Amino acid sequence: MTRKRKIITGVVSLALVAAVGVGATLAFMMDHAEKVNQFKIGTVDIDIPEPDFPVDKVVPITPDEIVAKNPHVTNVSTSNDAYVRMQVAIPTIEITNEKGEKETIEMFQFGTVADEYLVKNADGSQTGSIKDTAYTIERVTIPDPDGKEGDTITFEKKVLKPDVFNAGAYNTAQWLKSDSFTTDDNGNHVYTFYYVGPTEGKLAISAATERLFDAVQLDIRVKEANVQQGANVIVTSDAIQTQGYDIPAFGEGTSYICVAQAAFAAVEK
């Protein structure tokens, strides 16, 4: 059976969370969700449907500023549990470092807040939101992209306090990162994360993962480099059903760090 016959891929829009559905009409089914988070230096154009981010707004961001960004995945299937992965593509730029040497750096870094700053449900599960003690609110006025010349819109954005941000961290309780990043055709560093939740890495029907990370920070060296071009941060999510195919061995001493990685390798070969 060819890969084309056993994988179905479709780009879907994201709602309040990255929604991934897995159907049941073929023996092997895979679904794909993609979100392009557009950033501009000095301002940031963002379309991130997450609890703590303004929806469909162009959110200004300054170098070293930290803004809430907490992607997670929901299995909207009505028939199948799923193995899930997420990929985060971070744009890069070339700067001249303190030694006068050319160096490629990532424009943004993701990170987490301490568990005490996360809003939780009565059963202890995460809602995906951050407590108001972790951030300040700033009012933002920008040109209205859908209005006439001179029209503006005003909204609020959440800026995390620096002392609550753990740069480079992610939610290791539910996600595992592949050993190294890859570099795509646009020079982005692409990080792949696999869901390893409490039910043997399976995301049940109608269930949601916890967030992958909580916020993103624009590197202060972007300002020093006087970078003017825009940049896209692309977050994608894939899911595949958990039954109907042979999964290779995974774990220590194998080529795969977890069952989700092994499952994707089996279907994509």
**Residue boundaries of the structural domains of the chain:** 3-268
pTM of the model: 0.79
User: How far, in Å, CA of 144 to CA of 142, rounded?
Assistant: 6
User: Confidence band (pLDDT; 50, 70, 90) for 253?
Assistant: confident
Whether the predicted pLDDT of 144 surpasses 80: yes
Lowest mean pLDDT among 111-115, 140-144, 248-252, 258-262: 140-144
Write the DSSP string, 98-138.
TTS-EEEEESEEEEEE-GGGEEE-TTS-EEEEE-GGGEEEE
Q: Please name the residue that has the structure tokens 């039910």.
A: 199
Say if CB 215 and CB 86 are below 8 A apart.
no
Banded pLDDT at 142 (limits 50, 70, 90): confident
Q: What's the rounded mean pLDDT across residues 139-151?
A: 84
What distance in Å separates the CA atoms of residue 47 and residue 119, rounded to the nearest whole number? 23
Query: The tokens of 261 are what?
Result: 């990685």
CB burial of 54-69 (b: ≥16 within 10 Å; e: otherwise) equals: beebbbbbebebbbbb
List, for residues 56-109, the tens digit of each pLDDT value.
655 667 788 898 888 888 887 777 788 888 899 998 988 888 888 999 999 899
